[in-house]
Amino acid sequence: MKLGFIRSNFPGERRVPLLPKHIQGFENDLLIETGFGAMLGIPDSAYEDAGCNVCTRDTVFQESDGIFSLKLIQPSDYEKIRPGQMIIGWTHPLGSGKPFMEQQAYPKDLIVVDLDNRFPTIFHQQQQLRADWIPTNVVYQNSFYAGYAGVLHACLAFGLLPNDQVNAAILGSGNVAQGAFHAISKFTSTVRMFYRRTLPEFHTQLTSFDFIINGIEVGASGQPILTLEDQRQVKPGTFFIDVAADAGNAIEGNHFTSLDIPIYQEHGHYYYTVPNTPTLAYRNVSEYLSRQFSRYIYQKDIAIFREKIVHAD
């Protein structure tokens, strides 16, 4: 089948999720948008030498059976999507991608593959099927860099590199939280990690922290870790860094910020909730994503996603 790659126009996105050196033994014919590798200085000719067809964005949409876009396809491209196409990437159908599902996926009968790091899933109409041949945690380092780069960026934007006079709490023990710890522990030893089971202990010490870094995603249906009442209890000037980017959920009431304006102040506290922090380390992350996705996603005939739907029917 024909798998097309478009440059993600999600705000601030710089990662290049396919490098020419990883294109080996692919079962799909590849169509690559002109300028796809420009952020890393990779010329179109390098993709052509690897056997790809380099073409315009419109042609990629017109001729491809499946479209890979690392981040959500933006409304400016909706009219280019053909009925029955596959859309592959971090599509978040149950979260930020709901409008895409309602406006494009359902009316156009699209097969949407969400490459969630924990549960890669195929969505078709009301079906949800696990892509069980894709290993769990296949791109865990992307999440690690979300915490690592996000904390560094937050501190620099805040104008304060922590020292031992700054008490910090990290909520969570997963990839994002580990990346956050890796970053902040370079500056201070006064940092504690709280797992889900030790969150009650964290709440008893709430007023002692200057930085509260969240690495837990609870989702819209979960209970907030930090309620509005909790936030009223912390000391003035507390800095909330939500590297899980679970806006409004884990930290009740917080909202997304951007790479351009990463911090806002409210009720005497500061909030950082940038949703795309791995792109801050795009050179590190591009190499990793390209290698892992090539092995587990791009190399295999993408017809496997359609076949999974057919067999389920």
What φ, ψ does residue 238 adopt, rounded to 5°? Answer: -60, 140
Q: What is the mean pLDDT of the chain?
A: 95
Kindly state the average pLDDT of the residues 40-58.
Answer: 98
CA-wise closest residue to 272 among 289, 258, 284: 258
Tokens 């409304």, residue located: 75
Q: Copy the structure tokens of residue 270.
A: 């500061």
Bigger pLDDT: 313 vs 91: 91
Q: Kindly tell me if the per-residue pLDDT of 233 is higher than 90.
A: yes
Which residue segments constitute the domains of the chain, with CATH numbers given? 2-114+283-312 (3.40.50.720), 140-275 (3.40.50.720)
pLDDT at 10 over 90: no
In the chain, the amino acid numbered 310 is V
What is the structure's pLDDT at 220?
A: 75
| Vertex 129 angle, CA 93 and 66, to 5° | 65
Asked if the model's pLDDT at residue 241 lies above 70, the reply is yes
**Side-chain half-sphere of 296: how many Cα atoms within 13 Å?**
21
Q: Average pLDDT, stretch 179-207? A: 95
Global pTM?
A: 0.90
How does residue 312 score in pLDDT terms, banded at 50, 70 and 90?
confident
Using the predicted structure, report yes or no on whether residue 115 has a pLDDT greater than 70: yes
